Amino acid sequence: MADYKTQSLQKYLDDLAAKISAPGGGSAAALTASMAAGLVSMVVNFTLGKPRYSRYEGRLRKILEESERLRQEFINLIDLDVVAYKSGNLRNALDVPLTVCRLCYAGAGLCLPLVKIGNINLISDVAVAVILFESAFESAYFNVEINLKLLNDEKIRHTLRRELKKKGMALMKRRLDIEERVGKIIRG
pLDDT in tens, 124-152: 999 999 999 999 999 999 999 999 988 88
User: Residue 94's domain spans which residues?
Assistant: 23-187
pTM summary value: 0.95
In a domain, 125, yes or no: yes
Residue 69 in any domain: the answer is yes
- Whole-number CA gyration radius for the chain: 17
Give the Cα separation of 59 and 49 in Å (integer): 13
CATH classification of the domain holding 122: 1.20.120.680
Decide if pLDDT at 183 tops 80. yes
8 A C-beta contact, residue 134 and residue 178: no
pLDDT digits (tens, 9 = 90+) for 61-92: 999 999 999 999 999 999 999 998 888 888 88
Q: How many Cβ atoms sit within 10 Å of the Cβ of residue 3?
A: 10
CB of 26 within 8 A of CB of 85?
Answer: yes
% of the chain residues with pLDDT over 90: 85
Instruction: Give the number of domains in the chain.
Output: 1
**Contact in structure between 30 and 100 (CB atoms under 8 Å):** yes
User: DSSP character for 24?
Assistant: -
Average pLDDT of the chain to the nearest whole number: 95
